[in-house]
Amino acid sequence: MEKDRKIVVCGAGGFIGGHLIADLRRQGFTNLRAIDLRPQREWYQRFPDVENLVLDLQDKSNCFHALQGADWVFNFAADMGGMGFIENNRALCMLTVLLNTHLLMAARDVGVERFFFSSSACVYNADKQKSPTVVPLKEEDAYPAMPEDGYGWEKLFSERMCRHFREDFGLQTRVARFHNVYGPHGTYDGGREKAPAAICRKIIQGKLSGKHEIEVWGDGTRTRSFMYIDDCLKGVQMIMKSDIVEPLNLGSNELVTVNQLVDILEDIAGIKVKRNYKLDAPQGVNGRNSDNTKIKQYLGWEPSIPLRIGLEKTYAWIYDQMTATR
């Protein structure tokens, strides 16, 4: 793709969108437009040589403004967060459907070539995720539909919208189902953070205060896989450039329990902590892991950065942020 083609990243003030803008700049792309709802001072990454716009993309007219002249569009914009936010803000999560629908309408009408939608493993049938020793989830496990209430339903509906805009209007859409993305330059406090960042923050707080104990949501036995941001960026761009039109898993298959996640971060921090288990906290499904058969078959690649390596970098960045604040 020519380096001067117009690329629009929606949700660019957030974690993944900000990293994608940074990565595209490193590759030499010069015609970038970054869009987010938040004031620019609150963006995780912002660059002066990028066209930065503050727009509410739930408004249809703003979507047309955002996509004028666009060749490729990456949509990461969503009202979402970790499990605590998802379980307590289902209506807000569902309202994101306006955002993606209006972006699709604008992309169709202004002649966008390709449109990427960031879906989630929360679309998967809950009956497939009842055991911590979960069988890795295949793409077909999204049906019969029983996704995460609120957030998962919005993602599954928007996947269908992408499919039908491709079938009915010829808009080339690409969809990836993210499995727990983590890394630096993201949320680590305030209620929207996810498990890796939250546990980093808690252990750092314990280390700095000398009070070596943390609160763990649930009993620590639930299992997840966590994908480092660099793998996510590579996968997103490979999927966008490919001819694969069906939704693909994009996630690590390195399954760990929450307790094992804490173990790794204890070792990185060089301390041991007492774990106070909060059994009534939002916890999500018992187990979730990514089956990477299809992405390996189609693209000859899968996320491979070890959890330990990614956590070291994430912990170091959050530690720097917290000590700078202090």
In the structure encoding, which two tokens stand for residue 278, read together? 């909060």
**Distance in angstroms (rounded) separating the CA atoms of residues 16 and 69:** 23
Strands 181-182 and 248-250: unpaired
Is 151 noted as a catalytic residue in this protein? yes
Catalytic pick among 44, 124, 151, 319: 151
Give dist(CA 35, CA 7) in Å, integer. Answer: 11
Q: Which residues pair with 73 in a beta bridge?
A: 8, 115
Contact 178, 251 (CB under 8 A): yes
- AA identity, residue 235: G
- Determine contact, residues 89/73, Cβ cutoff 8 Å: no
Between the alpha carbon of residue 23 and those of residues 30, 75, 237, the distances in Å are 12, 16, 10
Q: Which amino acid is at 298?
A: Y
Do 54 and 31 form a contact (C-beta atoms < 8 A)? Answer: no
Would you tell me how many other CB atoms lie within 10 Å of the CB of residue 41?
Answer: 7
What gap in Å lies between CA 186 and CA 184, rounded to an integer?
6
Residue 208 CB coordination number (10 Å): 12
Q: For the chain, how many residues are written?
A: 326
Residue 223 bridge partners (DSSP):
257, 287
Q: Which residues are catalytic?
A: 151
